Amino acid sequence: MPLSSTSSINNRSENDEQIQTIVKNNDSQAKSDIGANIVLIGAPGSGKGTQSTRLVDRYQICHISTGDLLRQAAQDKTSVEGQKIRETIEAGSLVDDDTVMSLIEKNLTKPECHNGVLFDGFPRTIYQGEQLEKLLQSKQKHLDAVLEYAIEDDLLKRRILGRLIHKPSGRTYHEEFHPPKEAMKDDITGEILERRSDDTNETLNARLKTYHKQTTPLIEFYRQRNIHRLVDATQKISEISKQSIENINHLRQQSTSITQQIPARQTYDDGKILKIKSLPNQLDVDKNRLSNNFLSIYNSVTSVLRDRGII
């Protein structure tokens, strides 16, 4: 075999090995980047549902909506719990917190929740927040981030009260932001568009009043734990997603740093605590040195790939 052919094969082999190494490194980085426990807070019409879908996909976690859990449980006509929930909902009452927590705990054990959970519409009160905190701690878990999607009530009302729907197809429109070609008519069939039955000014005012009354103290509850971040929900969907991910990643790193700390050593004398002394984490390393090492490796790899004509 000619020398040039042997050299070419060797070069290709080296390139393949280098590419495989890079792919493995990227896979490792991707695996370390999945998983999170998140709470989303937002008034009706704030875009919370859209962001939920994106974040669940981004972090490969499960989505828990208490509304969905209660509806599913109410359909179970074989269990006592399902019957109790169904009767409560039909009576127009609120399902008690213990029942809701029981449903959440059952769902946390599902395989799809292994990487973490996005809680949508829960908790709503400080008591629920405390119960959720205890539940996660019992499973050696904790919340990484609480995102509040902030938007003025007036804009929310414009968003919600202008919604139109073509029921047969499910196509949606908006009087202001996405109007049909002809007022109150579906673009495809020409059939009359409708509004949702609960999209009224009276209903919305009541929902917003309840939302602010419940969530204002809850937000302060999470601020004290330094895991709350506010996101401007009036921006483009892509920008809201970007800021949400940035906030979650920052808070995850913060919580990881905290949980990696070794508990304080307590010194006792005749059963009394004399002194509490924090111990340094044996796993702590110089972050600047890590960054420099990474940059050095990255520059070396890119240099080789550039010389080989790969990049």
pTM for the full predicted model: 0.69
- Each residue's pLDDT tens digit in the chain (311 positions)? 554 445 544 555 555 555 454 444 444 445 568 999 999 999 988 999 899 999 999 999 999 998 889 888 998 888 888 999 998 888 878 789 999 999 999 999 999 999 999 999 899 899 999 999 999 999 999 999 999 999 999 999 999 999 999 999 999 999 999 999 999 999 999 999 999 888 899 989 998 998 999 899 999 999 999 999 999 999 999 999 999 999 999 999 886 665 544 344 343 333 333 333 333 443 343 444 444 455 555 555 555 555 555 55
Domains and CATH numbers, the chain: 33-154+200-261 (3.40.50.300)
Q: What is the CA radius of gyration of the chain?
A: 26
- Residues carrying an active site annotation: 48, 124, 163, 196, 207
Are 141 and 96 contacting, i.e. CB atoms less than 8 angstroms apart?
A: no
CB-based contact 204:161 (threshold 8 Å):
yes
Measured CA to CA, the distance from residue 246 to residue 219 in angstroms comes to: 19
Contacts of 46 (CB under 8 A, 6+ apart): 149, 150, 151, 156, 233
- Long-range contacts at 232-238 (CB < 8 A, ≥ 24 apart): 232/150, 232/151, 233/42, 233/46, 233/47, 233/149, 233/150, 233/151, 234/151, 234/152, 234/155, 237/47, 237/50, 237/51
Cα dihedral across residues 107, 36, 119, 167: positive or negative: negative
